[in-house]
Every structure is written in structure tokens, then in C-alpha cells.
Amino acid sequence: MPACATGSTRGADTVVMFLATSPHLFPVICEQLGAAGLNTPRIRVVLEKPLGHDLASAQQINRIVASVFREDQAFRIDHYLGKPAVQNLSALRFGNALFEPLWRRECIANIQITLAEGIGVGTRGDFYDRTGALRDMIQNHALQLLTMIAMEPPPSSDADAIRDEKLKVLKSLKPFTPQSVARDVVRGQYKAGTIDGKAVRGYLDEAKVPPDSRCETFVALRTEVQNWRWASVPFYLRTGKRLAEREAHIVVNFREVPHPIFPGANRANQLVIKLQPEDGLELHLMAAKGSGPSELLAPVSLDLDFDKAFASERVGGYERLLLDAIAGRLNLFVRSDEQEQAWRWVEPVLDAWARDPNGPRPYAAGSWGPAASSALVARDGCTWAEEQ
């Protein structure tokens, strides 16, 4: 529903309109706001996801919004960008000198982004069935995280300096072909299973879901960022409903030491960026257990809990985004060209699925998705975090 807030910047009142409506209403609302003269520079519009259903509908919305408002008056929400843990990604990379020299293909073997949910589709069956996990979570949240992990250091913290770099990452993503969709993308749909000891129904038995639906509730995919920094480093993205746990994290797997001199197991270093439910960092290292020539290495980890460290200063994701919209800070909002490029990248997957006679692979509620998801990473000699 549209809502309105006022605030004051540099002495002039600012009006923020929050459009949390079905996307097909964005154009008419914006046109009418324009017709009523409610598009002066003091007016801002916040556009809530979903921002279109595909590239063409996103472009149409953007065209009409742009005919009424300047780009810097349009605040496209991706609520993941409001999460403190996600803002911490920029702090980690660009507020510390430690990681940046290692943040490249020479030192990193692969990167995994997991956005796992325990919940099912609940009462949103009709919306979800027209949407699916690729549009609902990958096109926006997972790709935004990927851009923040893979982007070059921006020259400043200006919104456009950051968004220019994120756009470059989206433009560098390896395009999908029908062959690579078949090889590198796994889609699944949950069947009945058990979560937290309780039996839960399968997707096809959810309210407002057609009994023959081919909608995916799980996606795992492998991609690459085709530039000098990341050439041939696999980026794995994974999301799903009714998975074993609600857990969002990014795992950066470093390469193994080039010449191991200690006997026994040598595990490669790993940085786990925990996004939710905890907000923290784990750095997995090797340490000597004993002393002397036969000393054996053992894995140890440095564990930082940001919720605990900054509890009193944290605001919720939406609160942060709305405060930023009132203050006119665009850093955590998605620019139209970023959003369209993300659609451009996912569309070949949607097209290939539409032509594929096989539907999504079944997986039991409470599992980590179809077995093909593990096989996808195993092909490169990797495992998902929970399999380690």
C-alpha cells in the first residue's frame, strides 16, 4: 500500500512516498503523482520489490518512473541491502587493508552464497507460484550480495561510485546458454518432509498452488565473474524454501598452501561471513596442536559476533533503508541499470526452463535441496558448508 513520510533536509521539507503495491500499479501511481505535480525535487519514491517480472516489465516500470522522477528520486528497495550484516561486507572489504590483497583469483578457490529458509510459501502460494525462487531471491538478493563480494574498490563512498562498480560485476557475469543452464543450474521443488521435528506438507499441497505446478522453490547455480580479478573462480549461489535451517552466509574458500611442510591434514583457510540468523565472521585457520618436529596442525577459528559487539547501535533493515530514503542516501538502493542487468542475466535461465520438458527436481522438506545441488559443486571438487 502506498504510504507517505516527511522529513527535512537542508531546511526544506522532503516527502517520501513508499509504494509497496503490486508492480503493475507503479506506472499508473507515478504518472498520477506527476500529473498532480507531486514530482518536485523534494519528492522521493520508494519502490518495493518485486520490481517487475522480467526484463521487459522492469524496463517498462523504469521508463515510466524516469518520465516522472529523476533517477536520484527513485529508491528501489532490496531489503537485504538494509541488513547490518550486508553493510558489513563493504566495511570488511574496504575498511580493512587485510583482505583486499587476497581478494582475487590467485588466493581464492571459490565463493559460495547461501540464502536458506526453513519456511514454506505460507499464504503467498499464488504470488510465489508466478514468481519462483530465481525471481524471488536470486535475481535480487543473491546477485546484490555477489556484486558486493566481487566489485572493485569504488573510488569513494558516493552512491553512484558504488553502483557503477556493482553494475560492472553484473555485466561481467558469464552469460547462460541452454547448455550451461542444463549443466550449471539446479532447480528443485519441496515435497513433504520434517522440519524441527514437525511434519510439513509439500509445495503442491500448499494453499493456492496449482496441483501440477512446475514452480521452483530451490535454485543452486554456478557462475563466473569474467574479469582479471576473478577469471575461472566459481561463484555458487543457492537459495530455497523448506530447507534444513534458516541460514544466510557467504563462504570464501581460500586456496590451499602451495607447498605443505607440516605432516597431517592441511585444511585451506576459509572465511565465513554470517548474515543471518547470526551476524558475524568466522575465519578458519590452521594452528599447531603441540610442539616439536612431529607437531600436527589442527583447525581453529576466530569468531566475531557483531550482534553482540554493536547491539545497542543496530537498527532493523527496513528502518535503516527508510531513514536513508528520508535522508536522500542512495547507497543502499538499487539503480535501474543494475536491476535491468540482473534481469538480463537471469532471463536465459527462465527461457531454458520454459522449454525444458523436465520440471524441478524433488527434495524433501528439511533437507538441503536436491542431490544434484551437491553434485554441482562436487564436479569442481567442492562441498557446501554443511557437508564439510
Q: Which is nearer to ligand BG6, 117 or 129 (CB)?
A: 117
φ/ψ of residue 350, rounded to 5:
-60, -40
| The three three-digit cell numbers of residue 39, written as one number | 514530482
Considering the complex, state which of residue 110 and residue 276 has its C-beta at the smaller distance from ligand BG6: 276
Q: Least distance (Å) from ligand BG6 to the CB of residue 40?
A: 31
Give contact residues for ligand BG6 (rule: CB under 6 A): 49, 117, 136, 248
Helix axes 55-68 and 26-35, enclosed angle (nearest 10): 10
Q: Which is nearer to ligand BG6, 49 or 163 (CB)?
A: 49
141: annotated active-site residue: yes
Residue 332 contacts by C-beta under 8 Å, 6 or more apart in sequence? 81, 82, 87, 320, 321, 324
Distance between CA 331 and CA 89 in Å, rounded? 13
Q: Are 48 and 78 within 8 A, CB to CB?
A: no
What are the φ and ψ backbone dihedral angles of 114, each rounded to 5 degrees?
A: -120, 125
Environment class of residue 239 by beta-carbon count within 10 Å: exposed (0-12), middle (13-18) or buried (19+)? buried
Give how far Cα 182 sits from Cα of 16, 54, 220, 231, 376, Å.
Answer: 44, 20, 12, 22, 11
End-to-end CA gap in the chain: 45
Q: Return the beta strands (E) in 67-147 as ranges.
A: 74-76, 108-116
Report yes or no: 197 and 372 within 8 Å, Cβ to Cβ: no
Question: What are phi and psi for residue 18, nearest 5 degrees?
Answer: -110, 110
From CA 260, how far away is CA 1, in angstroms rounded?
60
Nearer to ligand BG6, 346 or 382 (CB): 346
Q: How far is the CB of 336 from ligand BG6 (least distance, A)?
A: 19
Residue whose CB is less far from ligand BG6, 131 or 374: 131
Residue closer to ligand BG6 (CB basis): 210 or 316: 316
- CB of 124 vs ligand BG6, minimal distance in Å: 7
The full DSSP string for 296-329 is -EEEEEEEEEHHHHHGGG---HHHHHHHHHHHT-
**Cβ nearer to ligand BG6, comparing 117 with 216:** 117
Report in angstroms how near the CB of residue 309 gets to ligand BG6 at its nearest: 21
Closest separation between CB of residue 351 and ligand BG6, Å? 22
Name the residue with the smallest CB distance to ligand BG6.
136
Q: Which of 24, 53, 79, 141 is catalytic?
A: 141
Residue 207 beta carbon to ligand BG6: minimum distance, rounded to whole angstroms: 15
CA angle 233, 239, 244 (to 5 degrees): 120
From the CB of 49, what's the least distance to ligand BG6, in Å? 6
Residue 18: its H or E element: strand 12-19
Q: Which residue has the cell 509504494?
A: 19
Q: Which residues are catalytic?
A: 141
